[in-house]
Amino acid sequence: MIIVLNFGGQYCHLICRRIRDLGVSSEILPFNASKEDILMKQPRGIILSGGPSSVYDEKAPVMKKNMLELGVPILGICYGLQLIAKLSEGEVKQKQREYGKNILRVQKQGILLKGLKKTEQVWASHGDSVLSLPSEFTILASTESCRIAAFENNNRKLFGVQFHPEVTHTPHGKRVLQNFVFEICQSEKDWNMKNLDKLLIDDIKKTVGKHSVLMATSGGVDSTVAAVLFHKAINERVFCIFVDHGLLRRNERSEVENIYSSFGFKNFYTIDASSLFISRLRGVTDPEKKRTIIGTTFIDVFEKKAKEIEKYHPEISFLGQGTIYPDRIESAQPSKEASKIKSHHNLSLPEKMKLKVIEPLKELYKDEVRDLGKTLSIPQEILNRHPFPGPGLAIRIVGEITQERIDIVRNADAIFIEELKKSGFYSKTWQAFAALFPVRTVGVMGDSRTYDYCIVLRAVTSTDAMTADWAKIPQPLLEKISSRIINNVRGVNRVFYDISQKPPATIEYE
């Protein structure tokens, strides 16, 4: 186990992820974790993360000098390096800033930089630099504007790099982390997806004890993987509520029900609330109003059912959620509220409920969740499914929602997705869907005039949905999809393909 102490750096979690990729367990603790908390985890090594502060800021996150003497090797990254230097009576000063790509000149490999060439590309992001260190430290490398870009002190087992080995822009950063984890800390490989499910299941058992867990499930990858973990840990003591808001994709409800029944879930409840949702949305055209109505209606429906279940199962004390790590960084951004673009309703449930939240996937990235799902034998169709927003088709029908428009967009979407799957493009795109624009235009079909809706096809490539590019789907395929939609979906006489990027556009339309 390698502990990463979080000093507020944006890559803190990535360090943890890279250590796990090396096959070693890793966990983040706050920078002010006590000696006892750290030693209880029996770490082989500790990494001090980067952070936005200067070690001399009044409010800078710091730790006591004796925390460098815990008897395990410590690697400081960026701010972490500066902190080690300061606590060891070195001199840290604001110097020329370094942001982005840089060239590292390795003077001495030591153990930390073993295997690195004389010059290496690294990625840096700092304002302060270490100017001097006591003589017991060996300087290993420098950059043009930073004399001490890496050091080691083998007696005291203190190591530091001013650059970020965890990012892909430092091509041999992995080697530096490997040197620390295996050569210096002598860690053994204990982490892989095969035992991750066991670890998470054990953790759930310990946390939940004799109590039960209530969950809102959507049929998406994250909530399905979380639900299956709960089921494996506590069997019929997980209660899943699946709300059909009438804005799901074609066959989605039966697909979700089938998967849960194939896993043997005893307490799975589908609530058909479509007429309630559709009636509350009648006449509403403002995107944020639509989102709010869907969010509050979802909570109303969920709470009503939860109360019914809780009457017979007072032992329910936990609310299970499929939150993954990127959901948490997004919702933790302080500026997010200030510049709210769209309100996602998924994270607002627990505030209204008096249950303790349990999120077994909260440290994982999407691809790790998919790998975990594979070891849990969840079918590929579920694991590789494109993301689908909580408000469903409502935000893909621009303007007012009517049953006719829902049917049109759902049918067009099914054709689009079927063709993408047949041609192999489904797996090459992050997300693809049809949307309906409430504009009618004139067309001609079989000698008759038509006055019908426009369907817009949106397919994007992305790695995290924060930015996205439009997918370059071949024209013959687009042509086939367009004619299948116009010929088969009544009410549509034109199909458009969206070629805008995010930003400035977004993936969904509302």
Which residues sit at the interface with ligand XMP, rule CB under 6 A? 342, 344-346, 387, 389-391, 431, 465, 502, 506-508
H/E element, 372: helix 366-375
What single string gives the DSSP state of each residue in 450-475?
A: EEEEEEEEEEEE-SSSSSBEE----H
Taking the complex as a whole, the smallest distance from the CB of residue 218 to ligand XMP amounts, in Å, to 8
Min dist CB 357 to ligand XMP, Å, is 17
**Residue whose CB is less far from ligand XMP, 182 or 437:** 437
The dihedrals phi and psi of 119, each to the nearest 5 degrees, come to: -125, 140
Residues in contact with 310: Cβ distance below 8 Å, sequence separation at least 6, in sequence order: 214, 316
What is the per-residue burial (b if ≥16 Cβ within 10 Å, else e) of 328-345? eeeeeeeeeeeeeeeebb
DSSP 70: S
In three-state secondary structure terms, 413 is helix
Cβ–Cβ < 8 Å for 230, 213: yes
CA distance 138 to 153: 6
Instruction: Please give, one letter per residue, the 3-state secondary structure of 259-277.
Output: HHHHCCCCCEEEEECHHHH
User: Residue 348 burial by CB count (10 A; 0-12/13-18/19+): exposed, middle or buried?
Assistant: middle
Q: Cβ of residue 277: shortest distance to ligand XMP, in angstroms?
A: 14
* In the complex, least distance from residue 161 CB atom to ligand XMP, rounded to whole angstroms: 34
CA 417 to the chain's CA centroid: 24
Backbone angle region of 375, left / alpha / beta, with phi > 0 → left and psi within -120 to 50 → alpha: alpha
- Choose between 216 and 408: whose C-beta lies nearer to ligand XMP: 216
Any idea of the CA torsion for 228, 230, 236, 238, to the nearest 10 degrees?
Answer: -110
CB atoms within 10 A of CB 149: 28
Nearer to ligand XMP, 53 or 346 (CB): 346
Nearest residue (CB) to ligand XMP, 76 versus 389: 389
Tell me whether residue 395 or residue 492 sits nearer to ligand XMP (CB atom).
395
Residue 349 Cβ, how far from ligand XMP at the closest point, in Å? 12
Minimum Å gap between C-beta 474 and ligand XMP is: 23
Among 126, 164, 231, 245, the one annotated catalytic: 164
Residue among 120, 152, 166, 508 flagged as catalytic: 166
Q: Which tokens sit at 363?
A: 């440290």
Give yes or no: 344 in active site: no
User: Based on CB atoms, which residue is closest to ligand XMP, 255 or 330?
Assistant: 330
Q: Return the structure tokens found at 208.
A: 């939940």
Whether 166 is a known active-site residue: answer: yes
Active-site option among 12, 78, 146, 240: 78
Active site residues: 78, 164, 166
